[in-house]
Amino acid sequence: MTHPIDVDVERGRDALEPPQSYFVPATDVYETDEALTLLAEMPGVKPDGLEVTVEDNVLVIRGQPEAAAGDDGNVLLKEFEVGAFYRAFQLPADYDTEKIEASVKQGVLTLRLPKSDRLKPRRIEVKGE
């Protein structure tokens, strides 16, 4: 396995298990020579509403958007609902989960997992005779 795959977390693993109902954030995943980066869309979630957990190489991201303030009056069109975000990924073994960096901007969570040193591309010098 070289990239994260979605995983179901069984009930009873408190730190990882999903909430009763949730939205699955659309996520892009890309790899560079140095790191693996996940970009998850979680509109309405502030930094303090975010939770990122790693246990046994299972990465869980959660987000709780801020409740809409005040009375919005009569609803004329409803194309999206506001609710908790949740997604769990099984991570490939070769990333340094101790060094995950997380940031959020414009409702997009960015997670950067540096590759462990042995996975980084290395140029092998070929010696002549």
Partner 1 sequence: MALIPYRGRRMPATTLSSLRDEMNDLFNRFWSTASEPFGLAEWSPALDVSETDDAVLVHAEIPGIDPKELDISVVGDTLTVRGEKTDETEQSGRNYHRVERRYGSFTRSLALPAAVDADHVTATAKQGVLEIRLPKKEEAKAKRIEVKGS
Q: Name the segment binding partner 1 (CB under 8 A); options: 23-31, 54-62, 94-102, 120-128.
A: 23-31
**Angle of CA points 79, 17, 30, to nearest 5°:** 65
CB atoms near residue 49 (< 10 Å)? 16
Name the 3-class secondary structure at 6. strand
Distance (Å, whole) CA 91 – CA 98? 13
Residue 74 in the binding site for partner 1 (CB under 8 A): yes
- The answer to whether residues 55 and 15 touch, using CB atoms and an 8 Å cutoff, is yes
Contact code string over 88-107 relative to partner 1, x by CB under 8 A = ----------------x-xx
Residue 71 in the binding site for partner 1 (CB under 8 A): yes
Q: Name the segment binding partner 1 (CB under 8 A); options: 15-23, 53-61, 94-102, 116-124.
A: 15-23
Residues 104-123 that bind partner 1 (CB under 8 A): 104, 106-108
Phi, then psi, of 19 in degrees rounded to 5: -70, 170
Residues 44-63 that bind partner 1 (CB under 8 A): 44-46
